[in-house]
Amino acid sequence: METIMTNQQIQEIISTTLGITKEVVAIKVWRNEPKDIKKYEGKAFPGMCTQIGELLTTGKTFYTIHDQCFCTGGVIATGVAPPLSEEERNEMIAVHFEISRGYKDVETALYYEKELDKLKPEVNEKNAALQLGLLKDIADPDLALIFCNPEAADILSRTYCYIVGEPIQGFGGNGGCVFAIQYPYATKKPTFSYSDVAWRKYIGLAQDELTMSFPYQSLLKFIESLPMVAELYRNYGEMGGGDGGGRWGGEMGRPREEAIALLTCFLYSGNMRL
């Protein structure tokens, strides 16, 4: 059941329940350039990761267009810029080699891009601008980016699974925008990733932080249940003590140890009879 609450309330639930210090970042895609939102000034290097980092520092929302990011991963991910041609991609790889040697040679880099193409979904639309802001400041965004530690990510994932009944896809590789923006934007499914060095450095992620990206509508589906699932998570395995009491011992007539054994079998077999 979807809940009706403000984005400020959603932010407060996430912060207080999970102890997350970074505010949730929202992304909203525009078919036409918005007239009442400030446009980003200059050109970000390397790209959208820098813009997100600036947003977290200043708290000020803005929109950006296709030619304001040196690395075009974020604007391509949302249909604000078209995919790179083969020539443009080769040129971009050559420039990246001058900055940081991410592959042993150009041939390996090209092979990686070929394999990445098999994973990333197509963005079949053309947009004019992308707005970045804190979740509490953007109404009805497309994506919500949550920067958190693995435990918080696990609680978010379990809450999503609890309500929606679907697993969450995770990615690792070179790049952040493909995994954290393009995949959830195009598929309307959440994802998580430890991302890569540029994403982590320019956003300002701590050593124990990763990125979870939720389509806004999917976040609305489960956010109300987050405190309850978090409490269950932190008390996992505590089913009434060693006397056989509690839900398993009392209501279902099984001692705690037998209940745990049955749950273990369930995890491995996919089938449990009570």
Tens of pLDDT along 234-269?
A: 999 886 544 444 444 444 445 555 555 555 555 555
Q: Are residues 169 and 116 in the same domain?
A: yes
Do β-strands 62-64 and 169-171 pair in parallel, antiparallel, or remain unpaired? unpaired
pLDDT at 246: 45
Q: Are 28 and 22 in contact (CB under 8 A)?
A: no
Q: 131 and 37 in contact (C-beta within 8 Å)?
A: yes
pLDDT of res. 102 = 82
The Cα 74–Cα 46 span in angstroms is 11
- Same domain, residue pair 101 and 157: yes
Assess whether 181 and 91 both reside in one domain.
yes
Among 254, 191, 273, 216, CA closest to 28 = 216
Tokens of 26: 């929202």
| Cα–Cα dist 274/272, whole Å | 7
What Rg, from alpha-carbon coordinates, does the chain have? Answer: 21
16: Cβ–Cβ under 8 A, 6 or more apart, which residues?
none
Neighbouring residues of 81: CB distance < 8 A, sequence distance ≥ 6: 66, 72, 75
Q: Is the bond preceding residue 46 a cis peptide, omega within 30 degrees?
A: yes
**Residue with the two structure tokens 């089938």:** 271
Instruction: For residue 237, tell me if it sits in a domain.
Output: no
Name the DSSP class of 23: P
| Residue numbers of the domain that contains 225 | 7-229
pTM: 0.85
What tokens were used for 71? 């690395």
Verify that 167 and 247 share a domain, yes or no.
no
Strand-pairing partners, residue 84, are none
Same domain, 25 and 126: yes
Residue 252 placed within a domain: yes
Residue 60 placed within a domain: yes
Torsion of CA 232, 235, 240, 242, to 10 degrees: 150
What pLDDT does residue 252 have? 46
CA end-to-end distance (rounded Å), the chain? 28
Those residues of the chain that have pLDDT short of 70 are 1-3, 239-274
Instruction: Report how many helices (DSSP H) and strands (DSSP E) the chain contains, helices first.
Output: 13, 7
Number of domains in the chain: 2
Do residues 137 and 177 both lie within one domain? Answer: yes
- Cα torsion 203, 209, 211, 217: sign: negative
Q: Same domain for 157 and 246?
A: no
How far apart are alpha carbons 195 and 83 in whole angstroms? 20
Looking at residue 225, what DSSP letter applies? G
CA-to-CA distance for 78 and 88, rounded, in angstroms?
18
Q: Within this chain, do residues 80 and 128 fall inside the same structural domain, yes or no?
A: yes
